Amino acid sequence: MAKHILAVDGGTTSVRSLLLDDKFEIVDIAQKDITQHYPRPGWIEHDPEELVSFQLETMRAVLRNNGIHPSDIDAVSITNQRETALVWERSTGEPIYNAIVWASRQSNNFIEKWRDQGLDPLIRERTGLISDAYYSASKIAWILDNVKGARERAERGELMAGTVDSWLIYNFTGKQRFVTDVSNASRTQMFNIHTLDWDDDLLEAYGIPRKMLAEIQPSDGDFGDLGFSFGTAIPIASVMGDQQASLFGQACFQQGQTKMTYGTSGVLVMNAGDTPKLVEGVTASTAWKAQGVPVYDIEGVVFSMGKTMQWLRDDLKVIHDAKDSEWYGGQVGSTHGVYLVPAFTGLAAPHWDPYARANIVGMSNATTRLHIIRAAVESMAFQTRDLVEATLTDKDLQIPELRVDGGAVNNNMLCQLQADVLGIPVIRPKVTEATALGAAWLAGISAGVVGGFDEAAELWNVDRVFEPQISEDEKEEMYDGWKMAVEGSKGWAQKVKSV
């Protein structure tokens, strides 16, 4: 029987497993939604045991449904939601608290404390990141301070802390491997992007013992195998954070190539080459280290893309399905000056305001749900332009085209709006599962199924190119209104203390 790659995708709202054949065509996908826990406003958590059990269910389902035996799998790849942090017992493997999700704001006070201590410049220089509760460090510190006895136990070496990739691998391998890769480590605010190792000065300042943290591997490193979980020693041949995997899956192997992923959040990532590059308002991370060579990226994150559609569907109940937004939004030619700023948990890049809150402005008696739905779709395009504008403050950088992926890019209206708002071509590939595909390609290279980067690039094919269709004046008028709406959302939670 032909060999296959099993691609594991541990996302924020769901976990999935994809079965790919030896030509990297997707044979099947199994998916299961994750329970979202909201203990308090602004807090988001996951059940760590559910992350593992649901992921294993999808892995087994995709094999079972296609009559595939584990021995017919060449390699496993793992990509995952980043920044989400967990702490568990070394002796039992039991979590001591829920996984704190990347978008959760419960650790804001630690960021404020570290800022008051003057750590921001050191954090920026060493990690490439902008100090924020988005990243893993403050979440781990919060758990150590808020679970009784946790800090003392951590000092005694009784606790382990990691991101979702570490947690999955630890469980998949029967607690034999406690590892992470450089791409995930670089999103923790504890990793030195220059030395490619944990930064001892920052760990000491945070009060996080180094002994809690995983061994850092290259993205194509040694992550163990699935012998414990599947009875067959299938190698875990690649691990990448979801956004770096998406950059890889969009075949952005050359410096300057850029992609935008429209997932639960939205992430713009540019291949920055072999040297970290700090640009105001956006971050620098390690994209991957493969075949012995590190590659860096420039990255901008916005918290709410697909999450805005979920809000329209589940809370406002103005659409039945996220894909309905294209039809509803297309029923009106414009929003008639209505803007929706989806700062539900604050603003990330390039504004970095944890106290911003969502708003809808510009409504009149003529405003209908159609205008609000269209404004929600337009917010994705405007937030992307915010990220592009921030990146291009470095005059040495150019973005002549934008490659897009994620579930939302099946929305033709969004893709056309994006091209219009940016004034550059937007390219949608034939396979929009770039996140899982990128990690699978690297696993294939590691396992010898794919010859190398050039061969992987040949697997990337264009579905459609969206060219700008509006004038420069129209584009700027739309964007000016957006910028005014964003300013109105800033600092709201501080102004209205009950929010």
pLDDT at residue 498 above 70? no
Instruction: Write out the two tokens for 183.
Output: 């791409």
Percentage of the residues of the chain whose pLDDT score is greater than 70: 99
Over range 112-129, report the average pLDDT: 95
Look-up of token digits 């994209």: 287
Quick one: tokens of 253?
């192997």
Tokens 């923790």 label which residue? 188
Of 179-188, 293-302, 417-426, 454-463, which range is least confident? 454-463
- Contact (CB, 8 A) for 240 and 149: no
Residue 473 has pLDDT above 50, yes or no: yes
- Whose CA is closest to 254, among 287, 230, 281? 287
Return the pLDDT at 497: 66
pLDDT of residue 352: 87
Closest alpha carbon to 490 in 389, 353, 324, 373: 353
What pLDDT, on the 0 to 100 scale, is given for residue 45? 96
In the predicted model, is pLDDT for residue 212 greater than 50? yes
Q: How many CB atoms within 10 Å of residue 400?
A: 9
Q: Is 317 left (phi over 0), alpha (psi -120 to 50) or beta?
A: left
* C-beta separation of 265 from 301 below 8 A: yes
Where is average pLDDT lowest: 93-97, 131-135, 393-397, 424-428?
393-397
The stretch 287-301 carries a mean pLDDT of 94
HSE toward the beta carbon, residue 227, CA cutoff 13 A: 8
**pLDDT of the residue at 97:** 97
Q: Which CATH class is domain 4-242?
A: alpha beta
pLDDT of 379-418, one tens digit each?
999 999 999 999 998 888 889 999 999 888 889 999 999 9
CA dist., res. 168 & res. 281, Å (int) = 32
User: Given a cut of 50, is residue 321 above it in pLDDT?
Assistant: yes
CA angle 180, 183, 187 (to 5 degrees): 95
pLDDT exceeds 90 at position 128: yes
Minimum mean pLDDT range among 142-151, 165-174, 190-199, 228-237: 228-237
Tell me how long the chain is: 499
CB 301 within 8 A of CB 262: no
Average pLDDT of the chain is: 92
What band does 147 get if pLDDT is binned at 50, 70 and 90?
very high
pLDDT band (50, 70, 90) for residue 1: very low
> Which pLDDT does position 386 carry in this prediction?
95
Bridge partners, residue 16, by sequence: 9, 31
- Kindly report, residue by residue over 74-111, the tens digit of the pLDDT: 999 999 999 999 999 999 999 999 999 998 989 999 99
| pLDDT grade for 2, boundaries at 50, 70 and 90 | low
Cα distance between residue 177 and residue 254, in whole Å: 33
Neighbours of 146 (CB within 10 A): 12
- Would you state the torsion angle of the CA atoms of residues 59, 65, 69, 73, taken in this order, to the nearest 10 degrees? -50
For the segment 197-204, the average pLDDT, to the nearest whole number, is: 97
Any idea where the domains of the chain sit in the sequence? 4-242
Q: Residue holding tokens 């793992």?
A: 78
Task: Report the percentage of the chain scoring pLDDT > 90.
Answer: 73
Q: What is the CA radius of gyration of the chain?
A: 22
What is the tens place of the pLDDT at every residue in 433-459?
888 888 899 998 888 777 788 888 888
* Rounded CA separation 20/447 (Å): 14
Which carries the bigger pLDDT value, residue 451 or residue 233? 233
